[in-house]
Amino acid sequence: MTSSQLSSILKETASELGFSKVGIAPAVSAPLTKERLYLWLDKNYHSGMKWMAKRKEERGDIKQYYPQVKSVISLGMNYFTGNPEDGEDACKISNYAWGDDYHEVVKNRMYDLYSTLQGIEPEIRGIVAVDTSPITEKDWAQKAGLGWLGKHTNLITREFGSWLFLGELLLNVELEYDKPFTEDLCGSCTACLDACPTNAFPQPYVLDSEKCISYLTIEHRGDLPEEFESELHNWVYGCDICQEVCPWNISFQKLSTIEAFQPREDLQSRKLEQWKNFTKDDFRSLFSKSAVKRTKFEGLSRNIEAVRKSIEVSK
């Protein structure tokens, strides 16, 4: 089978599996990507995410991660299911965490794609990767033609805005490659930068994690830094502010049809009163198979308490 035929089957199968975008790039080292990554790490913009630096060689050079790789298939899956309700008593959870844990949903479907390809060409070998793997997924998605890197550091696509989960399939075979996305369609817009309440962007296209509400409410362990404790703006897990104000999202966001991403309970509009007397058992029950487990019960409780204090002060 030719590389063109295999590539066509790959894309058709990916679409059938629910992927919204798919592109293929040659696994060529990118010195500029590596340079940007190392500079970001040197400035300690990864904050407490020490694993980012621990495997920086692999992140900076995909052949360090998988030496046999010849093709990188980038896949995007639309997860948008609506915006959270505002209100002074709202405790907001990022859209991506309303349903089931995307890591499992996306990885399982990627494994199905991988199995299909191996059934056609048994000599195919590869690695399934999501954002827990040491790979610069947004850069590879741009190289594969899916979209461009926005000033808020998320990948933006013409068709779905930035509401996409990304995954990569690294294969040891050559395929038919897509043209990279070379345009920057953000133009002069700075809506995402201007809207960030904690000034987490020291410059366009650069995120200082330590100031990011998503980082603070999910990855940060222990007490919240005093200067940010009252700056969560009702977010108890994650933050979508920079995405909600993006003109591409406002104009082109589409509701996801993936059942696993549909909101559980009333997470998109859960009020402060509903978190009262919330226990570890409640946490395990409500967030079974959920990405929210990442912050642990202690982290979520800390965030809720910080929001509660802010709400009381504002009344």
Please tell me which residue in 61, 131, 223, 240 is annotated as part of the active site.
Answer: 131
Q: Give the dihedral sign, CA 197/247/165/267.
A: positive
First to last CA, the chain: 68
Q: What are phi and psi of 200, to 5 degrees?
A: -80, -5
The residues pairing with 166 across neighbouring beta strands, listed in sequence order, are 76
Beta bridge mates, 71: 26, 171
Please indicate whether residue 131 is annotated as part of the active site.
yes
Distance of CA 82 to the CA centre of its chain: 16
Smallest CA-to-CA distance from 4 within 123, 172, 178, 156 is with 178
Q: Cite the active site residues.
A: 131
